[in-house]
């Protein structure tokens, strides 16, 4: 079986047909709306719920005012006409709704917001590298960086300042909020014989995503290299979506059990403790992967009498063998001034063992990838509003 190279993410629904409204009539299945570029059948409840008038929406804030449960039953109407290029519906409760072509275009934007094509990558594929100063000064470069991150789940920013905390200033400059946690806000990852995590040793760090011990971990992570004068320690990343598609092609039953069985994860320090239980794999309603929670080092024992224990271990061994297959590694050396941004719900990061014969210091911080998507929507015009200015 072959695996896909790209996956359409986001809304799986169709778009409303484009072009001017031509005709409208009620049918048993709903309103049949004919536009210049096609026809759609629209459910009455959907139309009533999305009435754009000032009685049904708060114009100043572009929020809903009308509540579907305020009606005693499904929306009903027997009148739909095209008046001066607009769709006008008279509802049985006496309310009238007027929909412009612009309103329908807005519905399309809202329905397909954050839809994109994910590129699945493996060894031999190139990742996106961007210059720090160019991203700050050139909005087209910033947009390209956001688009690449959305597509691949990973980008690398080079030429960044190497002063401790510089990553905080960069995040603020691109309008991305950083996330605090019980374990800390910014993590100084360097050789530390008292460190509570394998990252503080010189050992190789296997592919993983951080914060598996949290029920809702931050979805984004930055690894900002300040100094890297030690021998070894090359970094590599693994595309979790690509790995899971490979697993599904080999053994769909393995995906099913990994998405069903909850596993415990724990990470702790002298002053903090984190623990949760969750399946390793999460999918959306369309069966597309949305989260791979993979951290073998933080994994806790399953119940010894779990009914799916043998099947789970079989699936986990298969998943782990794909995750750690060098054919799925994209490797590079992070230099001082390089910042690795990863979507932690998708991309696993790792490093090879290094020799502590020179200083090696990076800083970890976390964010939510929603901020990347929102900034991209603002730059591309996908995010519009009807607010009063």
Average pLDDT over residues 332-348: 98
The predicted structure's pLDDT at residue 388: 46
pLDDT digits (tens, 9 = 90+) for 59-116: 888 899 999 999 889 999 989 999 999 999 999 999 999 999 999 999 999 999 899 9
Measured torsion, CA atoms of residues 195, 198, 199, 201, in degrees rounded to the nearest 10: 70
Is residue 59 within 8 A of residue 45, CB to CB? The reply is no
Q: Give how many domains the chain has, as a whole number.
A: 2
Handedness of CA 121, 122, 126, 132 (dihedral sign): positive
Do 191 and 87 belong together in one domain? Answer: no
Same domain, 101 and 128: no
- pLDDT of 389 > 50? The answer is no
385 pLDDT band (50/70/90 cuts)? low
User: At how many degrees (to 10) do helices 309-323 and 252-260 cross?
Assistant: 110
> Is the pLDDT assigned to residue 386 strictly greater than 80?
no
145 lies in the same domain as 279: yes
Residues 28 and 66 occupy one common structural domain: yes
Report yes or no on 185 lying in a domain.
Answer: yes
Q: What are phi and psi of 155, to 5 degrees?
A: -145, 160
Domain that holds residue 85: 21-112
Nearest to 117 by CA among 139, 140, 147: 147
What pLDDT band is residue 1 in, cutting at 50, 70 and 90?
Answer: low
Q: Given a cut of 60, is residue 387 above it in pLDDT?
A: no
End position of a domain, from candidates 112, 141, 166 = 112
Q: Are the beta carbons of 189 and 364 closer than 8 angstroms?
A: yes
In this structure, are 283 and 360 located in the same domain?
yes
Rounded to an integer, the average pLDDT of 36-63 is 94
Mean pLDDT of the chain: 95
Residue 133 has pLDDT above 60, yes or no: yes
Assess if residue 16 is contained within a domain. no
CATH number of the structural domain spanning residue 277: 3.60.130.10
348: its two tokens: 């696993």
- DSSP codes of every residue in 281-308: EEE-TTS-EEEE---GGGB-PPPTT-TT
Residue 1 covered by a domain: no
* Same-domain status, 76 and 126: no
Mean pLDDT within 116-125? 96
* Mean pLDDT score, 135-164: 98
Residues 88, 129, single domain; the answer is no
* DSSP run (H or E) holding 142: helix 139-152
Regarding whether 181 and 131 lie in a shared domain, the answer is: yes
Last residue of a domain, which of 56, 90, 112?
A: 112
97/130 same-domain check: no
Q: What is the C-alpha to C-alpha distance for residues 4 and 78, in angstroms, rounded to an integer? A: 46
Q: Looking at the predicted structure, is the pLDDT value of residue 384 above 90?
A: no
Same domain, 86 and 145: no
Domain boundary among 66, 95, 112: 112
Residue 52 reports pLDDT greater than 70: yes
- In this structure, the answer to whether residues 107 and 185 fall within a common structural domain is no
pLDDT level of residue 383 (50, 70, 90 thresholds) = confident
139 with 36, same domain: the answer is no
Taking the whole predicted model, whether its pTM rises above 0.75 is answered as: yes
| Domain annotation covers residue 389 | no
């Amino acid at each position: 079986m072959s695996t896909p190279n790209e996956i359409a993410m986001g809304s799986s629904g169709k778009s409303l047909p484009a072009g001017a409204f031509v005709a409208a009539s009620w049918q048993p299945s709903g309103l049949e709306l004919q536009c210049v570029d096609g026809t759609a059948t629209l459910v009455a409840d959907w139309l009533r719920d999305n009435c754009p008038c000032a009685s049904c929406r708060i114009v100043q804030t572009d929020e809903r005012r009308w509540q579907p449960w305020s009606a005693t039953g499904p929306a009903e109407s027997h009148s739909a006409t095209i008046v001066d290029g607009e769709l006008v519906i008279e509802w049985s409760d006496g309310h009238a709704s007027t929909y412009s072509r612009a309103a329908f275009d807005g519905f399309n934007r809202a329905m397909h917001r954050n839809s994109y094509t994910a590129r699945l990558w493996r060894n031999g594929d190139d990742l996106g590298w961007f210059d720090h100063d160019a991203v700050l000064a050139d909005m087209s470069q910033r947009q390209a960086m956001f688009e690449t991150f959305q597509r691949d789940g990973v980008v690398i920013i080079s030429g960044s300042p190497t002063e401790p905390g510089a990553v905080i200033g960069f995040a603020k400059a691109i309008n991305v909020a950083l996330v605090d946690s019980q374990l800390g806000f910014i993590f100084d990852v360097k050789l530390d014989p008292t460190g509570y995590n394998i990252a503080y040793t010189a050992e190789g760090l296997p592919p993983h995503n951080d914060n598996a011990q949290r029920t809702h971990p931050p979805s984004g992570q930055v690894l900002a290299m300040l100094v890297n004068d030690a021998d070894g320690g090359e970094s590599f990343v693994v595309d979790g979506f690509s790995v899971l598609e490979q697993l599904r092609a080999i053994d769909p039953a393995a995906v099913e059990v990994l998405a069903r069985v909850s596993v415990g994860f724990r990470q702790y320090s002298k002053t903090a403790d984190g623990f949760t239980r969750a399946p390793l794999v999460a999918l959306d309603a369309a069966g597309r992967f949305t989260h791979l929670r993979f951290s073998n080092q933080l994994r806790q024992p399953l119940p010894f009498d779990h009914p799916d224990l043998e099947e789970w271990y079989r699936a986990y061994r298969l998943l782990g063998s794909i995750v750690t297959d060098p054919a799925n590694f994209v490797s590079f050396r992070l230099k001082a001034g390089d910042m690795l941004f990863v979507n932690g719900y998708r991309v696993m990061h790792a490093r090879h063992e290094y020799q502590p014969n020179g200083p090696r210091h990076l800083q970890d911080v976390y964010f939510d990838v929603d901020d990347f998507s929102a900034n991209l929507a603002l730059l591309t015009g996908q995010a519009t509003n009807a607010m009063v200015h």
